[in-house]
């Protein structure tokens, strides 16, 4: 007799909205949360926020993909940080929803590819809430993320029929003992001109886009953070509960991680 597969685990996720926060502070917080999650001191935790303007370089980044001088970047008030996520160079700034899941994928979700696919699917669903048809480009590791076909904004066609695509959502992750760090960035009202400071994700063939540039509204990051909660709940088979202000403040009292970047 064949044994029935184990039932999926129902997860419990506490979601924290941090508002706008500098990248370095958020990164240090993530590192502390990852260690706390590994120890079992906290449960699965989701950080939702937006950053001050910053260029970040992933593990495989080419520094030559920053195409503005350091003095010009500083004059524009754009920070630059080397970080341990996957991927190349990207930009974060106001008007961009950033999601950092600190999830323990054990025991039933230990599949990095599936995890990245789940993050992409959440952004696809979020775009759909605003009338934008987004999708992924399969088979090309360089094009990881979520894309919109500028010739077909309401529906993302198959790769064989697509026209001119642009990225609306970026993904970069890191795992430690199956506990996740980093996550995704979804452009709502982001200043797309700032992406001209870099070669985004090392991709020269295609540009970036946002809900605002697609004339799909100008939702605030706080509004998007609320909208994304049920999407995480559905994709991760979880109960997602917004944290109180006191609970969020308590996150910053966790012991600092040994290495913040």
Q: Can 110 be counted among the known catalytic residues?
A: no
Residue 195 backbone dihedrals phi, psi, to 5 degrees: -65, -15
Q: List Cβ neighbours of 8 (8 Å cut-off, separation of 6 or more).
A: 108, 237
Q: Which residues pair with 66 in a beta bridge?
A: 198
d(C-alpha 110, C-alpha 177), whole Å: 10
d(C-alpha 69, C-alpha 43), whole Å: 42
User: Given 54, 171, 173, 201, which residue is catalytic?
Assistant: 201
Q: What is the dihedral of CA 221, 227, 228, 230, to 10 degrees?
A: 160
Q: Which residues pair with 50 in a beta bridge?
A: 20
Place of tokens 């605003």: 130
Segment 120-125 long-range contacts (CB within 8 Å, at least 24 positions apart): 120/144, 120/145, 120/146, 120/169, 120/171, 120/184, 121/235, 122/184, 122/228, 122/231, 122/232, 122/235, 123/168, 123/169, 123/184, 123/186, 124/156, 125/231, 125/235
d(C-alpha 234, C-alpha 249), whole Å: 27
In what helix (H) or strand (E) does residue 261 lie, and over which residues does it extend? Answer: none
Q: Are 148 and 166 in contact (CB under 8 A)?
A: yes
Q: Which residues are catalytic?
A: 201
């Amino acid at each position: 007799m064949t044994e029935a597969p184990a039932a999926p685990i129902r997860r419990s996720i506490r979601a924290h909205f941090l508002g706008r926060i500098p990248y370095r502070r958020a990164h240090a917080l993530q590192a502390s949360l990852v260690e706390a999650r590994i120890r079992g001191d906290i449960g699965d935790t989701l950080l939702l926020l937006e950053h001050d303007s910053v260029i970040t370089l992933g593990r495989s980044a080419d520094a030559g993909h920053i195409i503005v001088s350091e003095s010009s970047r500083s004059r524009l008030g754009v920070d630059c940080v080397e970080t341990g996520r996957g991927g190349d160079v990207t930009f974060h700034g106001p008007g961009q929803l950033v999601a950092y899941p600190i999830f323990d994928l054990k025991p039933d979700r230990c599949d990095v590819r599936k995890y990245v696919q789940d993050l992409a699917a959440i952004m696809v669903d979020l775009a759909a809430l605003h009338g934008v048809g987004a999708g992924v480009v399969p088979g090309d590791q360089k094009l990881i993320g979520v894309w919109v076909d500028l010739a077909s904004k309401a529906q993302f066609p198959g790769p064989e029929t697509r026209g001119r695509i642009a990225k609306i959502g970026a993904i970069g992750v890191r795992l430690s003992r199956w506990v996740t760090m980093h996550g995704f960035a979804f452009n709502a009202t982001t200043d797309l001109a700032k992406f001209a400071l870099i070669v985004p994700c090392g991709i020269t063939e295609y540009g970036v886009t946002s809900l605002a540039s697609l004339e799909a509204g100008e939702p605030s990051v706080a509004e998007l953070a609320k909208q994304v909660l049920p999407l995480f709940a559905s994709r991760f088979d979880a109960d997602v509960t917004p944290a109180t202000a006191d609970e969020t403040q308590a996150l910053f009292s966790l012991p600092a991680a040994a290495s913040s970047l």
